[in-house]
A and B are shown apart, each in its own frame.
Chain A
Amino acid sequence: MAETASGLSAASAQPARGFRSALTEARPVRIVLIALTVLILAVFLVLPLIIIFVQALDLGLGQALATFQDPDAISAILLTLLVAVIAVPCNLIFGIAAAWAIAKFRFRGRAFLISLIDLPFSVSPVVAGLVYILLLGPFTPVGAWLLEDFGVRIIFAVPGVVLATIFVTFPFIARELIPLMQEQGTGDEEAALSLGASGWQTFFFVTLPNVKWALLYGVLLCNARAMGEFGAVSVISGRLRGETVTMPLQIELYYQEFRALAQVSAFSMAAVLAGLALVTLVIKTWFEWRYADQLAAAGKGH
């Protein structure tokens, strides 16, 4: 404000007090708006986060840590990690392939593909879970065939949980890559090809390094969602304790028990998820800062 005002007053003889940038508001208005924003953020974001940790430590750190000796809890954590380890690489490959096709080529059905990628964003996760049950449940032709001929159970089993998670986290990586790849165009790839590089060499030496920060960012978001997904997994898993229950489901189960100890367990586990989210946020912010540079073509690229 002060710089703008003095800059303007130098040009005209009027006192600086009356001047402010055309894009800003009067001081009282700004104070009210900022206070409102801080208040909303505090009540809806910061406070819940604090409550999770406070509740987890309600009966002391010992009790909170004891949660992680419960076999159900251990199994939930392991399953969550397993699901993330499968879902994220699947969507990594899919995301890169889809973004590459959409950003670098023009073809019939391209617009449709873009909408299709967004589908998991617009469909309720519960509906997504239900659709898989209707498609692959033990009483459907496909489900029955898999179960009887191969002994593979999808619904109410781990494969279903993985499938649902993949579906829900489908768009994250592709969505992150498409705008960046579109902006970069195909010039670098053509240059690499003209220098004699093969398709794969071009991909690994040129295309991939050009989007690496966006890719890491996408993977991070995808991972956060994969570990935190509740709705679709809840429907499709059948909530078999120690078998198909992931961390978010386990939290819900503990919470429903109405024992003081279970409450602590629920919040301890929630605290772990929240902690993961916070770490993700920090790394994400760092990535954003790195690849904003790259986007502006001002970064060092390393």
Chain B
Amino acid sequence: MELRVVNVRKEFDRFPALHDVSLDIQSGELIALLGPSGSGKTTLLRLIAGLEFPTEGAIYFGDEDASRKSVQERNVGFVFQQYALFRHMTVAENIGFGLKVRPGSSRPPKAEVRRRASELLDLVQLSGLEKRYPNQLSGGQRQRVALARALAIEPRVLLLDEPFGALDAKVRKELRRWLREIHDRTGHTTVFVTHDQEEALELADRVVVMSQGRIEQVGTADEVYDRPASPFVFGFIGESNIIPVSIRGGRILIDGSELALPGTALPDGPARLFLRPHGVVIDPTGGGGITGKVVSSRRHGALRRVEIAVGDAGHRIEVDLPAALNARSLGTVSVQPQHWEIYPDA
């Protein structure tokens, strides 16, 4: 099922949660809504589900305008953050719930509901747990039951709110791979919300980066990581250093002295230079890139993280250099960043 969100605006008691958000999702795609808390990602997911209604704008399921349809009519599979399993029902009853509540004519017979439940339990690798109650399951198992329950109604789209948020790191990694497999096998159009960029980048076909009720960038993991469209995306995804600079005639100046970086087409004025700590190359001639004084140097995994004070004001940046290098002995160093971007101050 293709999904289209068109110019959606959502206010809660006059407080805007989403401003004019548009998003196209291809059929069968696995999409991550990524952003810090308060970015509106969960609101967007709930709007797609029909648990909230847009103040303005429309949501299309294929060609059909679903904006005013109830959550029941939309037929979506929603997996809640805390799973929201029915505690007084067994695992099988939970999974069969969506079939049991169908109106008379379309309700499958009991045996069929049971069969479907155990089929789905096989899919989520929990066969044999039909008779358990939710509180007798581990967090990861509950998560799988919640997914099976959502899949039982043969949803048109699958929506997951922070699906792995409540799990510990190891289970989270396992389930991540497992969700990808399920998605590839069932082919559902899937949208999930997360604040964990690693999760989003690893799992999703495309990542929607959100901030303060707006979409900052939509793209593959490579696109949002290597070509961030806004300072927010650069800062939010991966590690970054930020140095205030100014631009004069296409040249980049820090505290009045020019940085040996390729020129920019940005207009004159204050700007900020974003650069990633990794992939930095030392310029042996001492003349290229960014020059500064080594302030500290710490071992950082396989690399050495070196803090450099740049410019007259001594702005600190951190870069990763080969561990073999004795950075302290360098004193003053010139580094050539590989991943950097300049954004004018808004």
* B73-84 near A? 1/0 per residue, CB < 8 Å: 001111010101
In the complex, the answer to whether B84 meets A210 with C-beta atoms within 8 Å is no
CA distance A104 to B149 in the complex (A): 24
Give the number of A-B contacts (CB < 8 Å): 73
In the complex, the answer to whether B82 meets A187 with C-beta atoms within 8 Å is yes
* A193-207 near B? 1/0 per residue, CB < 8 Å: 111111001000110
Residues on the B chain within 8 Å of A194, using CB: 49, 51, 71-72, 76-78, 150
Interface of A is mostly: helix
Minimal beta-carbon separation of A199 from chain B (angstroms): 10
Residues on the B chain within 8 Å of A205, using CB: 86, 97, 101
Contact partner of A195 among B51, B82, B88, B149, CB < 8 A? B149
In the complex, the answer to whether B135 meets A298 with C-beta atoms within 8 Å is yes
Tally of chain A residues near chain B (CB < 8 A): 23
A32: Cβ under 8 A from any B Cβ? no
CA distance A210 to B88 in the complex (A): 7
A301: Cβ under 8 A from any B Cβ? yes
In the complex, the answer to whether A297 meets B87 with C-beta atoms within 8 Å is yes
In the complex, the answer to whether B101 meets A197 with C-beta atoms within 8 Å is yes
In the complex, which residues 74-125 of chain B have their Cβ closer than 8 Å to any Cβ of chain A? 75-78, 80, 82, 84-89, 97-98, 101-102
A299: Cβ under 8 A from any B Cβ? yes
Contact partner of B72 among A191, A193, A297, A301, CB < 8 A? A193
Residues on the A chain within 8 Å of B152, using CB: 195
Residues on the B chain within 8 Å of A206, using CB: 86
B133: Cβ under 8 A from any A Cβ? yes
Residues on the B chain within 8 Å of A298, using CB: 135
In the complex, the answer to whether B133 meets A192 with C-beta atoms within 8 Å is no
In the complex, which residues 275-302 of chain A have their Cβ closer than 8 Å to any Cβ of chain B? 294, 297-302
Contact partner of B133 among A190, A210, A301, CB < 8 A? A301
Residues on the B chain within 8 Å of A210, using CB: 86-88
In the complex, which residues 27-77 of chain A have their Cβ closer than 8 Å to any Cβ of chain B? none
CA distance A261 to B78 in the complex (A): 70
CA distance A78 to B269 in the complex (A): 90
Residues on the A chain within 8 Å of B80, using CB: 187, 190-191
CA distance A13 to B101 in the complex (A): 66
B129: Cβ under 8 A from any A Cβ? no
CA distance A302 to B86 in the complex (A): 12
In the complex, which residues 177-202 of chain B have their Cβ closer than 8 Å to any Cβ of chain A? none
Residues on the B chain within 8 Å of A190, using CB: 51, 71, 78, 80, 84
Minimal beta-carbon separation of B291 from chain A (angstroms): 56
Residues on the A chain within 8 Å of B89, using CB: 301
A89: Cβ under 8 A from any B Cβ? no
A209: Cβ under 8 A from any B Cβ? yes
Q: Which of A195, A297, A298, A301 has the most chain B CB atoms inside 10 A of its CB?
A: A195
A118: Cβ under 8 A from any B Cβ? no
Residues on the B chain within 8 Å of A196, using CB: 72, 75, 98, 101-102, 153
CA distance A188 to B89 in the complex (A): 12
CA distance A190 to B82 in the complex (A): 12
In the complex, the answer to whether A301 meets B88 with C-beta atoms within 8 Å is yes
Residues on the B chain within 8 Å of A209, using CB: 86, 88
**Between-chain CB contacts (< 8 Å), 26 pairs:** A187-B80, A188-B84, A190-B51, A190-B71, A191-B85, A191-B149, A192-B86, A192-B101, A194-B49, A194-B51, A194-B150, A195-B97, A195-B98, A195-B153, A196-B153, A197-B72, A197-B101, A198-B72, A201-B101, A206-B86, A210-B87, A299-B135, A300-B133, A301-B88, A301-B133, A301-B135
